[in-house]
Amino acid sequence: MGSKSDLPVMQDAADVLKELGIEYEITVVSAHRTPDRMYSYAKSAADRGLKVIIAGAGGAAHLPGMVASLTHLPVIGVPVKSSNSIDGWDSILSILQMPNGIPVATVALNAAKNAGILAAQIISIADETIVQNLINYKETLKKKVEESADEMKAEQEVKRFTL
């Protein structure tokens, strides 16, 4: 992440990666304040065994795109609605609108959880255990909705309007 102030958002990525059985590391690398650190981090990432990089940043968010320019690994970008952001549009467009040749896999504003799930989906193409974890995860999502529907149905017995 570009700043420690992004941690409350980015923690969601770490949590869901853990839940899905993916090993991860988490650190602060600023494109603008530590460009050399960003260079060495991104350039060495593949050799250090990383498979996917999740980069989150706010405002004029150059971290995801610059990391993508420095590695051949897939890079997932998380637009962060930071305090100096214009409703998040700056962060979204700075991450999403990359030129031809250097993609960033952009997820929704503040959606670090989805970045984690997407990283797991990517890793799962070579790991059957993760496939199963993802299938289970989807099942859990479905069950929660069905429980909501059941609760609402129960409440509705009372509330339902009959002519």
Contact 122, 108 (CB under 8 A): no
Q: Which residues from 105-134 bind a copy of itself, rule CB under 8 A? A: 105-111, 113-115, 117-118, 121-126, 131, 134
Residue 149 near a copy of itself by CB under 8 A: yes
Nearest distance in Å: CB 44, a copy of itself: 14
139 CB burial (10 A radius; 0-12, 13-18, 19+) = exposed
Instruction: Tell me the per-residue interface mask from 30 to 49 with a copy of itself, x by CB under 8 A, - otherwise.
Output: xxxxxx-x-x------x---
Reference 104, options 73, 134, 81, 80; nearest CA is 73
Binding residue for a copy of itself, selected from 47, 48, 128, 145, defined by CB under 8 A: 145
Site for a copy of itself in 38-97 (CB under 8 A): 39, 46, 51-52, 58-60, 62, 65-66, 68-70, 72-74, 76, 84-90, 92-97
Quick one: which of 47, 100, 128, 158 contacts a copy of itself (CB under 8 A)?
Answer: 100
Query: Judged by CB, which is closer to a copy of itself: 2, or 56?
Result: 2
- How does strand 75-80 pair with strand 105-106? parallel
Closer of 56 and 123 to a copy of itself (Cβ): 123
Query: 83 to each of 8, 17, 57, 77, how far by Cα in Å?
Result: 13, 26, 12, 18
Residues touching a copy of itself: how many (CB under 8 A)? 98
